[in-house]
Amino acid sequence: MSTDGDTDLDPEAYDERVRQDRRKKDEFFAEHPRSPVPQSDRAGFSGLNYFDPDPAYRFAATLHEHDDPERITVETTQDGAREYDNVGEFRITVDGEDVTIQAYRSPGDEHRLWVPFRDETNGEWTYPAGRYLDLEDPDDRTAGGDWLVDFNEAYNPYCAYSEAYECPLVPMENWLDVAITAGETLPDE
């Protein structure tokens, strides 16, 4: 079943919540010792770049769990590898296009889903290697048992900000043929 954008919310309250979360993230990137922004660049750091919040990129979606989750090996930006379990997929409709996006778990992690993706914005407006979504179970579920897949929360991996980080690359199954104009955009050079 495809699910269209979740329009059952107060757009002004949603917009303010997204912007407040972004301000908190900017503070973390500017000040926290674990920020991915190199210390030498923090004085000039004026915040992350984002598409405007858009509820059309927020979906209540069923996780269609795979009967026998496959363990996959994902290459990283520094020629390493990480393993994930492909536990299921979300089927949504983005700008009139049916999209299937795979959801992964780190082995041993039963509480979070990792949803990496590439889309038609990569390289022009967003980080060329793709972006990520992290979904918490069960807090991100709606009353009907669906997950909230909110692309307004899509973020760049830390390797977009510093070569000191090793980031998993997006599996080809999640290279989408649509533009997801939501979430973080390219960092300032």
User: What is the structure's pLDDT at 144?
Assistant: 59
User: What is the structure's pLDDT at 104?
Assistant: 97
User: What is the structure's pLDDT at 6?
Assistant: 47
Cis before 138? omega within 30: yes
Cα–chain-centroid distance for residue 30? 21
Per-residue pLDDT of the chain (189 residues; tens, 9 = 90+): 334 444 457 889 999 999 999 999 999 999 999 999 999 889 889 999 999 999 999 998 999 999 999 999 999 999 999 999 999 999 999 999 999 999 999 988 888 899 999 999 999 999 999 999 999 875 545 555 688 899 999 999 999 999 899 999 999 999 999 999 999 999 876
**Rounded Cα gap, residues 173 and 122, in angstroms:** 16
User: What is the structure's pLDDT at 154?
Assistant: 98
Q: Cβ distance 90 to 66 under 8 Å?
A: no
User: What is the structure's pLDDT at 77?
Assistant: 93
